[in-house]
Amino acid sequence: MRKLLFWLIKTKFWRWLLLHSPIPYIRLTTYYPSLKGRQYRNCLKVIREGDIILCRDNKKLTTKLIGGEFTHAMYFRGHDKKYQCVDMTHENYRKCDLFDAFKESDRVAIQRVPMSQNERSRLTNAIDSFDGAIYDVAFGLGAAFIYCS
């Protein structure tokens, strides 16, 4: 089974499936995710530059396929930035706001790594250098390969 999966990942069909098919957009309900404005506002009070946002949408098809406690990760760049968050999706390197994580999720967790403000700023600059990067559908390892989580 592993050999089949590794072979499939290298095909054009796999690339089409992840990047151009409707699969990343399919939700198993027409109702909204369950996070509300109160949770968003509470998060805004505590989140800061350098935090990692972990997300899960229980009704999204890709959540069923990926499994795990959380199925997506975003990086928080800071409150006073042109855009607050960045992540990698089938739409490649994406710039967005924290609100986007909430409107697309049933569950959000914030992880903070102990760092100085200088280290946080350097990390943000390093992550910003990936602007324009293409999503790696083969899920390779190394700095040249970028994908979520």
**Residue 108, helix vs strand vs coil:** strand
The domain in which residue 72 lies consists of 27-86+98-128
Residue length, the chain? 149
**Residue 10 is assigned to a structural domain of this protein:** no
Let me know: does 101 contact 56? Beta carbons within 8 Å.
no
If one counts the domains in the chain, the total is 1
Q: Are strands 85-89 and 92-96 parallel, antiparallel or unpaired?
A: antiparallel
Instruction: Flag whether the pTM goes above 0.85.
Output: no
- 3-class SS at 5? helix
Assess if residue 8 is contained within a domain.
no
Q: Is 71 helix (H, G, I), strand (E, B) or coil?
A: coil
- Does residue 92 form part of some domain? no
Tokens of 146: 């970028």
**Residue found by looking up tokens 């943000």 in the block:** 124
pLDDT digits (tens, 9 = 90+) for 67-118: 788 888 999 999 988 899 999 888 888 999 999 888 888 889 999 999 999 9
Q: pLDDT confidence of 18, banded at 50, 70, 90?
A: confident
